[in-house]
Amino acid sequence: MTTVLPVRRPGAATALPLDTDERSTAGGNAGRARQIWGRLAPWLARGALGIAVLAFAVLAVGPHVFGYRTMTMLTGSMAPEIEPGDVTVATPVPVSEVTEGMVISYHMPVGDQRLVTHRVVSVDRAADGSVTVQTKGDANTANDPWTASLEGDTVYQVQAVIPEVGELIRLFRTPGLSQALLYGAPVLLAGWLLMTIWRPERNENEEVPA
């Protein structure tokens, strides 16, 4: 039997094995994750900054500009309409326009005269123009055990409720967190602005190495 062996011509290149990519797919996944996070992080930072600015405007600037008040509900006496930790937005209305069914904020005439937010259940207008009301918490079984005289020309009526924001405000008022926000927030904001200004723009025509 005759055996035929392949003959390599002088100077011919030796065939190389097929190139196989032995890199782990984990590296590729990590690279994609970093790329996604790099694109998502600036938008998250912008969103957090926007929410912080909006909250500051509503809770700190708005009352001085538009005259409303924001108050944090501490008890569950007005549940489920107003839960503990909710923030109420109240606007001034003339005392002469107070009617049954309104939810108003006023200083209770007994005890420590703290601020209370309850619903008006009865209104009494005297001949001299003074107005007294009796109120009740929606979650309470009985009316408040007092009659309140509304002093001044206006009283604050609840117009809107912002759920659970009060708990966040109380958290921000803790000494450690408030100091961190006071000194850390400006530094983070300045760093983000500098990165936005000095970040080199990627050339779309530039080839990305495999």
Name the least confident of 36-45, 57-66, 194-203.
194-203
The reply to whether 99 and 143 lie within a common domain is yes
Tally of structural domains, the chain: 3
Whether the predicted pLDDT of 93 surpasses 70 = yes
The reply to whether 91 and 80 lie within a common domain is yes
The reply to whether 42 and 98 lie within a common domain is no
Range of the domain at 179: 172-199
The reply to whether 73 and 39 lie within a common domain is no
Residue 89's beta-bridge partner residues? 70, 160
The reply to whether 51 and 100 lie within a common domain is no
The reply to whether 82 and 156 lie within a common domain is yes
Q: What is the pLDDT of residues 137-182, one digit of tens each?
A: 999 999 999 999 998 899 999 999 988 776 666 665 566 655 665 5
Are 182 and 174 in contact by the 8 Å Cβ rule? The answer is no
The reply to whether 56 and 131 lie within a common domain is no
Whether the predicted pLDDT of 52 surpasses 60 = yes
Are 73 and 84 in contact by the 8 Å Cβ rule? The answer is yes
The reply to whether 78 and 54 lie within a common domain is no
Residue 154, SS3?
strand
Residue 158's closest CA among 73, 65, 74?
73
The reply to whether 133 and 195 lie within a common domain is no
The reply to whether 132 and 75 lie within a common domain is yes
The reply to whether 78 and 159 lie within a common domain is yes
Prediction pTM value: 0.60
Residue 13, SS3?
coil
What is the phi/psi pair of residue 117, to 5°? -120, 105
Distances (CA, A) of 115 to 41, 58, 104, 176: 42, 21, 10, 28
Whether the predicted pLDDT of 123 surpasses 70 = yes
